[in-house]
Amino acid sequence: MKPPPAGRFLPIDAMRGAASVSVLLFHLFRSPPQADVLAATFPAFWVTVSDLARSGVAVFFVISGFVIAYTTRDLGTRARDGARFALRRQVRLDPPYYVMIAAVVVLSGLERLVPGLEARSFSAGDVLLNMVYLQEIVGAEPVLAVAWTLCLEVQFYLVVVLLVWLAGRALRGPARAPARGRAVSAAAIVLGVVSLALPFLGTDGGPWFIGTWWMFCYGAVVAWFMVGRLPLRVVVAASVVVGVWCVAVTLWAPVADPWGSHWFAWLTGVAILAILATRTMSWRPPRVVLYLGTLSYSLYLVHLPVIDTVMAGAYKITGESAAGALVAYLAAGAAAFGAAALLHHWVETPAMRWSARLKDVDRHTLRAAVARARRHEPAASPAPAPAPAVVRDDDGA
């Protein structure tokens, strides 16, 4: 099955937007000091929905696996190819993250100026470790509470780059490219099996990628089916195995998510597979939904500091008032969207352009190499085969 011709996978954008909004809803409800007041004010249905909304993180992981697998489908096997890919990813992701780190550090400094207000403090070492996504591994103070997922995302794609490089070292030559792709997929699936075993061994993997790798791998398996690397029977088998595993984890595993994030991850993979099976990947969701997908990364980064600031400030004014808590809830949600729009426009969008320029440099380099090869062909040689297409190296989503 070939990927759709569109430059972006619009239904995936919609899913990403829904995931970011769900995480926002969870933190709006459970993070502020008014949490108990809100729980007593809202109907039980909304309390349950808000708690389940934390599973939006699992949706992100599956989508990330799908996107990274698609993006790296033709990644070169040289070390510098992997380094360029990693650089492009960080140029895309780091600027908004760094801006939010700076914002939280500044806010914590301002909070210390307010008498009686409890404020966090960060050392220079804490900030530096957060900037290189090592805070969870070394136990440094996290500046941005939601960044634990970013630490795992960076590990995810570095593992994929490493697998591609190892496959290139073991299986050299253009003729063995299909075998290299299958080797990368097989190695990723083996790691996925290890990841699935961890809850039954009493561990969740801690700050390391292996604990949530199965979610990433499931999304990757669906993408590899889409590009023709894996047959339908493999992705169907993976879906069945993960579904049965979800039942087993729910019933018997000593370490399991009480909110059922594993089920949301499985449903996300099944939903993407259904989109491919029904050939609706080119479907265009409503514009507002697509905008939420465009805004998702900035919203994910900015929402918790905004919620903490707005709702903590409101609590000092309204205390345990139900009406005050509801107004603060709505105001914090609106402020989070507004701040995300600003971050996206002024920081994330330029970062995307910078990343695209690095991608264009790679394309120009490939075109130049093909042109040089043609110029040095012997005059009497037969007509050359068509030059290899310049493969898009973007998220595709």
Residue-wise pLDDT tens digits, 145-196: 999 999 999 999 999 999 999 999 999 988 899 999 999 999 999 999 999 9
Q: Is residue 2 part of a domain?
A: no
**Is 387 a residue whose pLDDT tops 50?**
no
**Is 50 exceeded by the pLDDT of residue 257?**
yes
Dihedral, CA atoms, 139, 141, 144, 146, nearest 10 degrees?
40
pLDDT above 60 (res 362)? no
pTM of the full structure: 0.89
Is 99 within the bounds of a domain? yes
Please write the tens of the pLDDT for every residue from 198-249: 999 999 999 999 999 999 999 999 999 999 999 999 999 999 999 999 999 9
| Residues counted in the chain | 397
Mean pLDDT calculated for residue range 38-56: 95
Confidence of residue 41 (pLDDT cuts 50, 70, 90): very high
Residue 168, domain member (yes or no): yes
- Measured distance CA(11)–CA(392) in Å, rounded: 19
* Residue scoring higher pLDDT (257 or 141): 141
On whether residue 190 sits in a domain, the answer given is yes
Residue 46: Cβ within 10 Å count: 14
Q: Is 199 a domain residue?
A: yes
Q: Which of 97, 39, 66 is nearest to 351 (CA)?
A: 97
Q: Which of 10-14, 258-262, 311-315 has the lowest mean pLDDT?
A: 258-262
In a domain, residue 140? The reply is yes
pLDDT of residue 114: 75
Q: Is residue 370 part of a domain?
A: no
Average pLDDT along the chain = 89
What is the total count of domains within the chain? 1
Sign of CA dihedral 317, 318, 323, 326: positive
For 167, the domain range is 10-364
Each residue's pLDDT tens digit, 69-121: 999 999 998 999 999 999 999 999 999 999 999 999 999 998 888 776 677 89
Q: Give the Cα separation of 158 and 136 in Å (integer).
A: 17
Q: Residues 358-367: what's their mean pLDDT?
A: 59
Flag whether 173 is in a domain.
yes
Identity of the amino acid at 120: R
The answer to whether 15 and 274 have CB atoms below 8 angstroms apart is: no
